Structure 1
């Protein structure tokens, strides 16, 4: 079971937990503001753009090519940007905080 915190653009935060699926699915199921997941998690819309804490970035790793290409279309991209549809809910992300980009 992984517990994570999402910080929204209005500086609200929400702790959620899950044990399967993607981080985007977990966020949508819990109504996290700013995570839409319009494409259903197939990495084709960037409506689940998040920022990973630099100290934790190695835990999730860099984006693969398809994800990087999609992120290039967003003007709020940083070196710590990821699409949360591409991050699996697992013990590896337990305790991490993610900032919603939108």
Structure 2
């Protein structure tokens, strides 16, 4: 199973093994990780699952689609180079080792 590392704003790390096919957001929600609210439940209709992806992973992820790009405009302190919505990232073996950090707040 792919292993994803979630880092809360305060620095607390959660290393979680997730099954292929779930979203990175669902992995956080289902494991009680604070910092990803996911108010829309994964419909890409809000930005409350916003994270900063570790720079070493940005070139390894699929590019954001137009809906995700639009929603990132509403995220708390988006970083044009590293911000992603976790509802749009599907866990696969290719994501084994992914590291994401939560912002101070979710908008």
TM-score bracket, normalised by the shorter chain, equals over 0.9
1:39 maps to 40
- TM-score w.r.t. the length of structure 1 is 0.94
In 2, Cα distance between equivalents of 1:38 and 1:74: 13
List alignment gaps of at least 5 residues for structure 1: none
1:18 maps to 18
2:98 maps to 96
Q: Is the 2:52–2:82 Cα contact (8 Å) retained in structure 1?
A: yes
In 2, Cα distance between equivalents of 1:3 and 1:36: 21
Q: Summarize the Cα distance change of 1:61–1:11 in structure 2 as closer, same or farther, 3 Å threshold.
A: same
- TM-score w.r.t. the length of structure 2 is 0.90
| SS of match in other structure, 1:24 | helix
Q: CA deviation at 1:15?
A: 0.6
Q: CA deviation at 1:62?
A: 2.7
1:2 maps to 2
Aligned residues: 102
Structure 1 stretches of at least 4 aligned residues deviating more than 4 Å after TM superposition: none
Q: CA deviation at 1:70?
A: 0.5
Deviations 1:1-43 (A, max 9, x none): 1101100011111011111311100110011111111101010
1:84 maps to 86
In 2, Cα distance between equivalents of 1:65 and 1:76: 19
